[in-house]
Amino acid sequence: MLDGRRIVLGVTGGIAAYKAVEVCRRLVDAGAHVSPVLTSGALHFVGETTFSALASEPVQRTLWGEDSPIPHTRLGQGADLVLVCPATARVISDYRTGRSHDLLTATLVATRAPVVLCPAMHTEMWEHAAIQENLSVLASRGVHIVAPDEGRLAGGDVGAGRLADPARIVATVERVLGPGDLVGTTVLVTAGGTREAIDPVRFIGNRSSGKQGFALAAEARDRGASVILVTTTPPPPDLGVETHLVESAAQMHQAVVSRSADADVVVMAAAVADFTPVEVADSKLKKQEGPPRIVLEPTVDILAELGRSKRADQVLVGFAAETHDVAANARDKLVRKNADLLVANDVSAPGVGFEHDTNEVVIHGSEMEQNVPLTDKRLVARAVLDAVVAHRSARST
Ligand code: C5P
């Protein structure tokens, strides 16, 4: 599975360092070429000889070794993947800021290979706002994070922060280095809030920023999908996917319908207006003429229309931004719109939904319900696409 893949295994100074021995052995057994890098903290917990004996080459510890004057660039450039296991609060924070002061942090900054971090620390540290924020930023840069488990910690404590199981860590490495679970799949994503014109300068809009849709498009792209993005807000310049810029619900409807036949998966993350003015004034409405009477009519419900006409092999995902009765409304929409999955968020909660970089959702399917606690929108995107992949594989068996 990992035949010949070059993995830099960074081990930092936490009690979980002893479990990195098992991870190292499993990676070598799977055929990987493992180059271990131990921090000085790690050496308080585990022996250099153990890793040198198990890995594919001897342990490296310092930027100032005699063999190579610039070991971090050799390691960073030659790696197919850098795995940090365990990742302490210190290495997470240094990596977030690009502070490169030992061989491991220098290698992390010097690599373009995918990076997998396996945080492990006491619950208080894991839940600290600084650590969560640093991990959010790293996740938004595409770093893979293997969330810790709950369980026994050092000193007899129990809680969240225990290093993930070695099997889960190795499975993540295999997934990241694998061909991508959405190769050959076309994913259409909508993003942003529509604008319904009242006159040439004014519109009725909503607070959607498009960030959740962009995170979905980026995640689908990185998992090998061909991505079609229909958005009201220009995406980040490096997104690199087919993009259709629209403004109104009617334009979004037209763009989605014209491309949906090619899509295996449609994710309607956009906040589409439910109503639009019946008439749009040709010239700017004048204040002196008094408050205008704006008569509204319903827009086409794009998701519901796709739900009525979907192919048996298509997966439809809707979003529901709610302020009350969130779960009941989401389940109702799942059925009424004939979607396969419905992602519900309570936009009245702090840090959730519109304009934020973070989100907290519940993914509803006809036979599943999954909570995704408050986290970066990229990790929410990952959970949504994991649910899509699980739905497709359940349907094909
Ligand atoms: O019914 P409601 O607007 O709350 O449903 C939200 C879901 O339906 C979102 O996925 C949204 O993109 C989609 N929708 C749509 N067309 C509309 C309104 C909402 O596709 N006109």
Buried b (16+ CB within 10 A) or exposed e, 83-99: bbbbbbbbbbbbbbeee
Mutation pick for ligand 1 pocket among 216, 265, 302 (CB with most ligand atoms within 8 Å): 302
Spacing, Cα 294 to ligand 1 middle (Å): 22
Integer Cα distance of 66 and 74 in angstroms: 14
Domain that holds residue 231: 186-396
Asked whether residue 97 is assigned to any structural domain, the reply reads: yes
Whether 191 lines ligand 1, by a CB cut-off of 6 Å, is no
Among the options 206, 338, 345, 359, which is catalytic? 206
Confidence at residue 52, expressed as pLDDT on a 0 to 100 scale: 96
Using a 10 angstrom Cβ sphere, with 0-12 exposed, 13-18 middle and 19 or more buried, the burial of residue 257 is middle
Which residue's C-alpha comes closest to atom 16 of ligand 1?
A: 301
At residue 66, the pLDDT reads 62
Question: What DSSP letter does each residue of 295-347 carry, written as one string?
Answer: -EEEPP-HHHHHHHH--TT-EEEEEEEESSSHHHHHHHHHHHTT-SEEEEEET
Cβ(396)–Cβ(389) below 8 Å? no
Calpha distance 203→196 (Å, rounded):
5
Report the separation in Å between the CA atom of 233 and the middle of ligand 1, taken as the mean of its atom positions: 17
Which pLDDT tens digits describe the chain residue by residue (397 residues)? 899 999 999 999 999 999 999 999 999 999 999 999 999 999 999 999 999 999 999 999 998 876 777 788 889 999 999 999 999 999 999 999 999 999 999 999 999 999 999 999 999 999 999 999 999 889 878 898 998 998 888 888 888 899 999 999 999 999 899 888 899 999 999 999 999 999 999 999 999 999 999 999 999 998 999 999 999 999 987 788 999 999 999 999 999 999 999 999 999 999 999 999 999 999 999 999 999 999 999 999 999 999 999 999 999 999 998 889 999 999 999 999 999 999 999 888 887 778 788 889 999 999 999 998 888 898 899 999 999 999 999 988 7
Answer for the pair 186, 265: CB distance below 8 angstroms, yes or no. yes
CATH label of the domain that carries residue 23? 3.40.50.1950
Is the CB of 330 inside a 6 Å radius of any atom of ligand 1?
no
Query: Residue 164 and residue 254: Cα distance in Å, rounded?
Result: 45
Q: Is residue 181 part of a domain?
A: no
274 lines ligand 1 (CB under 6 A): yes
Q: What is the DSSP letter of 258?
A: H
**Count of structural domains, the chain:** 2
pTM: 0.73
Residue of minimum CA distance from atom 21 in ligand 1? 301
Q: Are residues 158 and 211 in the same domain?
A: no
Distance from the CA of 381 to the center of ligand 1, in angstroms?
18
What CATH number is given to the structural domain containing 316?
3.40.50.10300
Instruction: Choose one of 176, 208, 228: the last residue of a domain.
Output: 176
Q: Work out the end-to-end distance of the chain between its first and last CA atoms, rounded to an integer number of angstroms.
A: 24
Among candidates 254, 246, 269, 258, which has minimal Cα distance to 385? Answer: 269
| Known catalytic membership, residue 134 | no
pLDDT of residue 71: 84
Three-class SS state of 130? helix
User: Distance between alpha carbon 116 and the CA centroid of its chain, in Å?
Assistant: 13
Residue listed under structure tokens 């369980």: 151
Burial classification of residue 298, based on how many CB atoms lie within 10 Å of its CB (0-12 exposed, 13-18 middle, 19 or more buried): exposed
Cβ(52)–Cβ(36) under 8 Å? yes
Ligand 1 centre and the CA of 303: distance in Å? 6
Pocket of ligand 1 contains residue 319 by CB under 6 Å: yes
Q: From the CA of 260, how far away is ligand 1's center (Å)?
A: 16
Model pLDDT, residue 188 = 98
Instruction: Kindly state if the Cβ of 320 falls inside 6 Å of ligand 1.
Output: yes
- Whether 191 and 334 share a structural domain: yes
CB atoms near residue 117 (< 10 Å): 24
